[in-house]
Every structure is written in structure tokens, then in C-alpha cells.
């Protein structure tokens, strides 16, 4: 059988000639050629972004969650998968899994969704060599979301569902592109992402953690400039830097920060606070902005576009939220569950 190519330049799946087929070779986003089983029943997600991608595509393949869902997150996950065990994570901050844990879960495949830097390539090679379990790396950049869905869907044999989800994302991207093309750069909101209880952790422009801001038509004020050598990612800043940047919009998911920013004298003079444009992003079952930077950001993209340009985007947020959670998360939200999310996103937690 000839090669089946899902997306040039990212991941190509080639089924080996055999009758019946017993394996496939996959060239992942890092350019690694990996042999995977023809039938994949159990998949170990190396980190939270991978677990979300796997959950939306084929939740029955999950061996477990990198972190067990909190009580407030559980109603927003399909019942059969809320109680999957906590398996830890191989990648990212606070990695908690080791090879013994991975082997105990007996996966047919390990995969990670996110950065494909040398650090992650080295880890994948080492884990694959020591366990004998194939390990794929898939590019997790926001723009690659449709391709990632199709590619992992092809690996797992759920192509039809992958196409449905990828088309949803592409339609949203296209709508944003058409509308934002009419908005000059200097008329776009100046946005700061406030992470942590003091709001002084943020993501630099161009990082996987904040690219949703730029994709929704905002200008990230944490801009290191055009110097390609500057690190892109999470960073600590001072309140003086935030004051100088003076964003007109602040996005956070930290309830402690959101609760105190209105009365904190050091934040009171910032334009976003004066204009009451500080917004609290929902985080159930996954963050709408980040935490993790995965497919969960798609509903956050609609939300942000509506916040930034209420006169240009006429999203019915309750209806779109209900639709998204059914399509991507396999849950029918009750009115109470939906209201809780919308109140959260409306700044009335």
C-alpha cells in the first residue's frame, strides 16, 4: 500500500505493505521515523496538552490523566473518563512520571503535543529506547491545530472525527482572518496575560502560552522585540514593567489575582483596571486560554475575539460554549453548568 499523507511538513503516516497490516511508520513533527502498531488501544499522554488532544479525539484510548481532575472540573468531563487514574507527566514543569510508571500503564504508544525542541526530542529518543514503546512528537503550535487533529486522528484510526474537529477549527480561523484583516494594528487592544496570584508572571509574545492573544487580534504588551535570540516563553516581570506597558486589557485565570486586582493600589492606575477590562478565563475542565496550551484554547479564542471586538464578532457565547463542549468534550452541559462557565467568563465568578 502506498503512503497516506495527512499534512506535508508535519506528520506523514505510511502503512507498510503487509497482509494484514501489522505496523505503520510515522514521521513525526521532529522528523523522527517511528514504527507504531497497526492497532493502538492504549496511549500514554506525556503531558497535559497531549492528554487534551487525545481526550477530544479518542478518550477510550487514554491510560489516565497527567493530573487527576479537580472536583470542579469533573462535571465537564464525560462520566466514563472522570475517574481515570493519575499517571503523571513526562514533560513540562513538574514532571512526575518515570519509566516504571509508564511501563505499568502498558501503553501501545506514547506521544507528546507541544514543543519539538531538542530537549523533547532527546527525551523521546531516550524513553523509546529504554521502554521499547513508540514515542511521537506532534507540533503543538496554535496554527497547527487542524493538522494535529487530522494527524493524530489518522494514527488512531478516527479520521472522520478528526476531520469534523479540524474543520470546526479551520472555519473559526478563517472567520477571524476575514474580520481582523480590516483592523489596523494600532487599533487592536493592548493585552497583558496575568498569571499567578500576584499577576506578575506572564508569557512573552510568540510563546505557545500567549499566542492565543495574538490569534484573537490582541497585541501582547510583553513583547521582547524582533531580536530572535530573546527567549520566548513564561517569564517574571515587575509591577513597574506592567505600569510602563499600561495594557488596556488584562486576561487572567487566577481567581486570587482577579479578586484583589480591583483594590490593589499598585494596579489601580493601570488602564485595564480603570476601564474595568480585567477578565477571568474559565478553567473547567481545561483552561480557555492556556493550562494547558492545547485544543481547549479554541473556545477561549472565540471568547477573546468577542471581548476584543464586540462590535465585529457576534458569537452567542452560551450557545457556542454548549456546542463546543458537546463536540469536543463529549458532554451535554446542564443549564447550571453552562451558567457557571458563562458567569465565570463574564467576570462575575
Q: Which residue has the higher pLDDT, 101 or 169?
A: 169
Q: Which pLDDT score, from 0 to 100, does residue 232 have?
A: 72
pLDDT digits (tens, 9 = 90+) for 226-279: 764 555 789 999 999 999 999 999 999 999 999 999 999 999 999 999 999 999
Name which of 97, 32, 33, 37 is nearest 63 in CA terms.
97
CA-angle at 232, arms to 148 and 141, nearest 5°: 10
Model-wide pTM > 0.85: yes
Ramachandran quadrant class, 252 (left: phi over 0; alpha: psi -120 to 50; beta: rest): beta
Do 105 and 61 meet the contact criterion of CB atoms below 8 Å apart? no
Cβ neighbourhood burial of 177 (10 Å; 0-12, 13-18, 19+): exposed
The residue written with cell numbers 499577576 in the block is 199
Domains annotated for the chain, with CATH where assigned, are 4-174 (3.40.50.1980), 184-345 (3.40.50.1980)
CA distances from 313 to 6, 14, 26, 281, 287 (A): 32, 41, 40, 18, 22
**pLDDT band at residue 22 using 50, 70 and 90 as cut-offs:** low
The pLDDT of residue 230 is 55
- Residue, of 230 and 308, whose pLDDT is higher: 308
Peptide bond before residue 73 is cis, with ω within 30 degrees of 0 = no
CB burial of residue 80 (10 Å; 0-12, 13-18, 19+): exposed
Nearest to 111 by CA among 33, 156, 46: 46
The pLDDT-based confidence of 349 (bands split at 50, 70, 90) is very low
**Residues in contact with 292: Cβ distance below 8 Å, sequence separation at least 6, in sequence order:** 47, 48, 49, 51, 52, 286
| More confident position, 315 or 23 | 315
Q: What are phi and psi of 26, to 5 degrees?
A: -125, 130
Q: Terminus-to-terminus CA distance in the chain, angstroms?
A: 55
Rounded CA separation 260/187 (Å): 29
State how beta strands 278-280 and 249-252 pair. Answer: parallel
257 is written with which cell numbers?
489575582
Instruction: Quote the CA–CA distance of 149 and 159 in Å, as a whole number.
Output: 9
103-142 pLDDT tens trace: 999 999 999 999 999 999 999 999 999 999 999 999 999 9
Cis peptide before 123 (omega within 30 of 0): no
Residue-level pLDDT at 18: 36
Q: What is the DSSP letter of 85?
A: P
The three three-digit cell numbers of residue 5, written as one number: 499523507
Beta-bridged to residue 190, according to DSSP, are 219
Encode pLDDT of 37-58 as tens digits.
999 999 999 999 999 999 999 9
Amino acid at each position: 500500500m502506498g503512503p497516506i499523507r495527512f499534512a506535508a511538513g508535519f506528520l506523514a503516516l505510511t502503512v507498510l505493505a503487509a497482509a494484514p497490516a501489522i505496523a505503520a511508520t510515522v514521521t513525526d513533527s521532529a522528523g523522527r521515523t517511528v514504527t507504531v502498531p497497526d492497532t493502538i488501544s492504549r496511549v500514554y499522554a506525556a503531558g497535559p496538552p497531549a492528554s487534551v488532544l487525545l481526550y477530544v479525539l479518542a478518550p477510550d484510548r487514554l491510560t489516565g490523566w497527567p493530573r487527576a481532575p479537580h472536583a470542579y472540573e469533573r462535571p465537564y468531563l464525560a462520566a466514563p473518563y472522570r475517574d481515570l487514574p493519575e499517571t503523571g507527566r513526562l514533560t513540562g514543569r513538574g514532571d512526575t512520571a518515570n519509566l516504571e510508571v509508564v511501563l505499568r500503564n502498558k501503553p501501545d504508544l506514547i506521544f507528546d503535543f507541544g514543543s519539538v525542541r531538542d530537549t523533547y526530542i532527546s527525551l523521546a529518543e531516550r524513553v523509546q529506547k529504554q521502554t521499547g514503546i513508540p514515542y511521537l512528537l506532534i507540533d503543538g503550535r496554535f496554527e497547527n491545530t487542524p493538522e494535529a487533529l487530522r494527524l493524530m486522528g489518522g494514527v488512531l484510526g478516527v479520521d472522520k472525527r478528526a476531520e469534523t474537529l479540524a474543520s470546526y477549527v479551520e472555519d473559526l480561523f478563517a472567520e477571524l482572518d476575514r474580520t481582523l484583516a480590516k483592523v489596523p494594528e494600532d487599533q487592536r487592544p493592548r493585552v497583558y496575560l496575568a498569571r499567578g496570584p500576584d499577576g506578575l508572571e506572564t508569557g512573552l509574545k510568540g510563546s505557545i502560552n500567549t499566542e492565543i492573544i495574538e490569534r484573537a487580534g490582541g497585541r501582547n504588551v510583553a513583547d521582547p522585540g524582533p531580536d530572535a535570540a530573546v527567549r520566548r516563553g513564561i517569564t517574571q516581570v515587575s509591577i513597574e514593567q506592567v505600569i510602563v506597558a499600561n495594557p488596556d486589557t488584562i486576561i487572567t485565570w487566577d481567581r486570587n489575582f482577579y479578586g484583589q486586582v480591583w483594590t490593589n493600589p499598585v494596579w489601580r492606575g493601570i488602564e485595564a483596571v480603570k476601564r474595568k477590562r480585567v477578565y477571568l478565563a474559565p478553567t473547567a475542565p481545561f483552561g480557555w486560554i492556556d493550562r494547558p496550551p492545547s485544543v481547549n484554547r479554541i473556545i477561549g479564542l472565540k471568547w477573546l475575539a468577542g471581548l476584543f471586538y464586540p462590535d465585529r464578532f457576534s458569537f452567542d457565547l452560551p450557545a457556542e460554549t454548549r456546542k463546543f463542549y458537546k463536540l469536543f468534550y463529549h458532554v451535554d452541559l446542564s443549564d447550571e453548568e453552562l451558567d457557571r462557565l458563562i458567569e465565570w467568563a463574564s467576570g462575575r465568578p
